[in-house]
Amino acid sequence: MEINRHDRSPDGRRAPRTITPLATPSVDGTGVLRFPLQHPELHQVVKAALDEDGAFNDLTTIATVVSDRRARATLVARESGVVCGVPLALEAFRVLDPKVAIRVDVEDGTRVDSATPVLVLSGHARGLLSAERVALNFMQRLSGIASLTQRFVDAVAGTKVKILDTRKTLPGWRALEKYAVRAGGGVNHRFDLASAVMIKDNHLAAVEGDVALAVKRARDMSPPGVKVEVECDRIDQVRAALDANADIIMLDNMPPGLMRECVALVNGRAVVEASGGVTLGTVRAIAETGVDWISIGALTHSPPAMDLALEFN
């Protein structure tokens, strides 16, 4: 099911909304954004967060709000960015109040301006209050990743470059954080250590720097079809990786001039990835060297949280 962008029908009425889908794989064959967790997994993640927060024994709310009090609230973006994490917020509110009514105004992957309503909720006041922090924590983190990714994607617009993430994710959050990267228009690098071969400097040190030997051993040990990537910080390593028929060559912390030389040397015989210390100030110059991919650890290891709030009416 494709994410509904809330287009209007020819008669001017808003088309029916759909909830952000729960399906696997995370991205289908056409690149449509998909939420990576099936509902039982989603529930488990959210329930654990609610338990951690003591949401089922919220002393303040129990003491101050009568049990049958109802309320309306709006989850609002207080700054511009890309929304992500809607399914997690929905689940948090529904666990605390199974009969809560929720209108989804903005789906995952949607750019918003400041003061844009994301969710409109109506239900038991206690449930809304006790779920508030968990819902916001999920969405602020994931929306922050999506928003930062979108800024990098925008910065290289008009080039052929794809913006990729890395494995620098919070333990236990990888599927969600890589989903947030896709929501921001980025592309996922390998999901884990078993997904692809990446021969780095420490691996090369174990074979006395012999790139050809490292690639051969990787080919011999890996299942058919697994891509082999070699991290290079010198042009002679790039040449050795090419001679060994590496699928992907990573240019690690190279200046743009040297990157350009390496791209010319590779000449389309492998995918060329740039990585290391990439910032919004440098990413455009890196993209213009002709590399295919730019991987950025900061997308997931240090994104600023997006400012979202739950405002009670």
Instruction: Give pLDDT tens digits for 251-289.
Output: 999 999 999 999 999 999 999 999 999 999 999 999 999
Judge if pTM exceeds 0.75.
yes
Do 57 and 106 touch, CB atoms closer than 8 A? Answer: no
Instruction: Flag residues of the chain having pLDDT under 50.
Output: 1-27
Q: How far apart are CA 271 and CA 254, in angstroms?
A: 16
**Residue 10 DSSP symbol:** T
Class at the top of the CATH hierarchy for domain 39-151+304-312: alpha beta
| Residue 133, C-beta contacts closer than 8 angstroms, at least 6 positions apart | 53
Q: How far apart are CA 171 and CA 185, in angstroms?
A: 23
Q: How far apart are CA 58 and CA 62, in angstroms?
A: 6
Number of Cα atoms under 13 Å in the Cβ half of residue 107 = 18
Do 37 and 50 touch, CB atoms closer than 8 A? Answer: no
Q: Amino acid letter at 10?
A: P
- What count of other Cβ atoms lies within 10 Å of the Cβ of residue 258? 16
H/E segment holding residue 70: strand 70-77
> What are the percentages of helix, strand and coil residues in the chain, rounded to 5?
40, 20, 40
Say which CATH architecture domain 155-301 belongs to. Alpha-Beta Barrel (3.20)
- What count of other Cβ atoms lies within 10 Å of the Cβ of residue 79? 15
Which sequence positions are flagged as catalytic? 133, 168, 200, 231, 252
Domain with CATH 3.90.1170.20 in the chain: 39-151+304-312
Give residue 31's pLDDT: 59
- CA 27 to centroid of chain Cα atoms: 12
- CA 129 to centroid of chain Cα atoms: 27
Domain with CATH 3.20.20.70 in the chain: 155-301
Q: How far apart are CA 50 and CA 40, in angstroms?
A: 15
Give residue 33's pLDDT: 83
Do 250 and 278 touch, CB atoms closer than 8 A? Answer: no
Task: Report the candidate in 312, 254, 299, 248 with the shortest Cα–Cα distance to residue 84.
Answer: 299
CA dihedral (197, 151, 42, 130) positive or negative: positive
**Residue 168 DSSP symbol:** -
Give residue 23's pLDDT: 38
Q: Is the bond leading into 10 cis (omega within 30 degrees of zero)?
A: no
Task: Report the candidate in 90, 86, 96, 88 with the shortest Cα–Cα distance to residue 131.
Answer: 96
Which stretches within the chain are classed as H helix?
39-52, 59-64, 86-96, 125-155, 174-183, 201-205, 211-221, 235-243, 256-266, 283-287, 298-301
Q: How far apart are CA 51 and CA 56, in angstroms?
A: 7
